Amino acid sequence: MTRVRWVIGNWKQNLLRGPAEALAKRMVAEIPNQLLEADHRLRIGIAPTFLALDAVSPWTRPSGPLWLCAQDIAAQDQGAFTGEIGPEMLAEAGVKCAIIGHSERRNHYREPDILVGAKLHHALKAGFTCVLCVGEPLDVRNQNRHESYVISQLSNAFHQLENELCSERLIIAYEPVWAIGTGKTATPSQASAMHRTIRAWLLERFGPAGGDRSILYGGSVKPANAATLMAAGDIDGFLVGGASLDASKFLDIVHAAANG
Ligand code: 13P
């Protein structure tokens, strides 16, 4: 498999600066060099809160071992947008990667598809690596409408995206809402089937560059299920919430992604 594998820890609204720095430091110390050297197609990222970025930044490097990621990014660089932090400011803090459209932002803060698309477009144009999150809620899955729901999220997010912005810097994370923080993981076949659907859609929308994008799974990923998920095929790594707050669990998941 030539696609880049990613494992990204989304720390959400957890960890003050001290514990965030300690966790990053521990992760760096425990990532075996051989893993990264032997496998240049593996990337590992962490997304602390905005206020912990500078505490964590000395333990990350743009070329590895840890990528510094933001949990969100504004759709503009600066201006009268209270509370927002845009690409220029994040780049200044050493961030080159951003999570966009996480379901917690879509659901708790009512971020609409159009805003998710604007953030994605602006961040890609600014040179960021972007992790676009998609995923259906439980009622949609129960009504068997999950594929069309996710495809609609994709087509809205990519509405006006120029084809040249579909590159290695574009990553998709499939995170079914019902699996996030619930301990209820999608089965490997559910995850793999959705990843194939997403890949087929990207291929049709962008041509070969679309079909070659890394697609991550997120939602209650743990050391106990990571290898089985990888083995299902078409899963290029993970976006990890709760388990990423524990260095040894996170690194077990990294190993599963590297070996899968
Ligand atoms: P959990 O791994 O805690 O389910 O969270 C997944 C997630 O939302 C990652 O972005």
User: What CATH number is given to the structural domain containing 194?
Assistant: 3.20.20.70
- Angstrom distance (rounded) from CA 161 to CA 117: 8
62 — pLDDT class (breaks 50, 70, 90): low
- Mean per-residue pLDDT over the chain, rounded: 94
Mean pLDDT over 159-169 rounds to 91
Q: Taking CA 194 as the corner, what is the angle to CA 99 and CA 14, rounded to the nearest 5 degrees?
A: 30
Of the candidates 111, 112, 122, 131, which has an alpha carbon nearest to the alpha carbon of residue 75?
122
- Name residues whose C-beta falls within 8 Å of residue 201's C-beta, 6 or more positions apart in sequence: 151, 154, 155, 210
Separate counts of helices (H) and strands (E) for the chain: 12, 8
From 100, 104, 239, give the residue whose CB has the most ligand 1 atoms within 8 Å, as the site to mutate: 239
**Catalytic residue ranges:** 102, 175
Query: Is residue 13 within 8 Å of residue 49, measured between CB atoms?
Result: yes
39 — pLDDT class (breaks 50, 70, 90): low
CB-based pocket (< 6 A), ligand 1 = 10, 102, 175, 180-181, 218-221, 239-243
Q: Return the pLDDT at 82.
A: 97
In the predicted structure, residue 178 carries a pLDDT above the cut 80: yes
User: What is the residue range of 253's domain?
Assistant: 5-259
From 7, 11, 12, 46, give the residue whose CB has the most ligand 1 atoms within 8 Å, as the site to mutate: 12
Q: Return the pLDDT at 182.
A: 93
Expressed in angstroms and rounded, the spacing between residue 206 Cα and the centre of ligand 1 is 28
**Structural domain total, the chain:** 1
